[in-house]
Amino acid sequence: MSDLIKRFKEDLQLAGYAKRSTESYVSSVLRLQRFYNKPLEDITEEELRQYWLCCQSEFGWSAATLRISYSGIQHFFTRTLVRSWNIFNEIKWKREQTLPTILSLQEVRRIIYALPTLQSHTFYLTLYSLGLRLREATTLQVGDILSDRGLVHIHAGKGALDRMVPLPKITLLTLRKYYKTHLNPKWIFPALGHNGGKDARFAKDHVSDSGGQGALQRILKHLGFKKHVHPHVFRHAYATHLLEANIPIRHVQKILGHKTLKSTMIYLHVTTQAQTDSHEKVSQVIQGVLS
């Protein structure tokens, strides 16, 4: 690792960035360096402009991928190398406004109860019923389960925001049942290893982000699901189902750990109840005008 990259990682660490964000930002900078194959301090503002033009037009990068690249490189050249370049104020890639994939209550239940192992069943039941991001679920620790208060403490999620989420009784009972199979003193979902899970009790690491995704994709194929389902879809479903149950949107925002209400409001566009209510209200207004 070069001294500059090491310094960049330290700068991000001091700024409070999560490990995953740091890795993503460093990767963006290293990708730029490989593109020009020369020291980062020798790259000019015009070369950076041409790099992003190439990524957009030649490589076909999406706006989301370009934004990630921008964030990492912008942090590097303004924090670590301290360049005062206008390009960082000029570039804007609009966020693509796409609605999330949503599963119905019946679809969530069908998937979770079709998962073949207690580990995969417990993992996705926990992911859904607590509204967790994937990394928040894989890193869940024994001490995070506050069973006497009916809460789970989620540590330093996206944006380093801690939060408390309600712990449903069915989730607590399932977690207890699964925990008895490994009794790891730290992790709720320890790495199972290559010994049929027999070493899980002594595992030092938690299950990897990709650990449970294979089982999910196999069961989706078996069930013949046409929707594009991945772990984060269960969080989308959780948020939507809470709003459909008339949980106040500010409370849903707090549970999900969203910094702004805008992030939570997207789920209003995909709730069946909200659409039904608005359709009925529109009909009532028109009926009142024309009758």
Mind telling me the catalytic residues? Answer: 133, 158, 232, 235, 258, 267
| Secondary structure of 111-164 as H, E, C letters | HHHHCCCHHHHHHHHHHHHCCCCHHHHHCCEHHHEECCCCEEEECCCCCCCCEE
- Cβ atoms of residues 101 and 229 within 8 Å: yes
- The Cα-based distances of 116 to 106, 135, 142 in angstroms read 18, 22, 24
Distances (CA, A) of 29 to 57, 79, 97: 19, 13, 27
Q: How many CB atoms lie within 10 A of CB 167?
A: 21
DSSP labels for 42-86? G--HHHHHHHHHHHHHTS---HHHHHHHHHHHHHIIIIIS----T
Measure the CA–CA gap between 153 and 100, rounded to whole angstroms.
Answer: 26
Give me the long-range contacts of 42-48 (CB less than 8 A, separation at least 24).
45/83, 45/85, 45/86, 45/87, 48/73, 48/77, 48/85, 48/87
- Do residues 246 and 256 make contact, with C-beta atoms less than 8 angstroms apart? no
As beta bridge partners, residue 152 has 145, 165
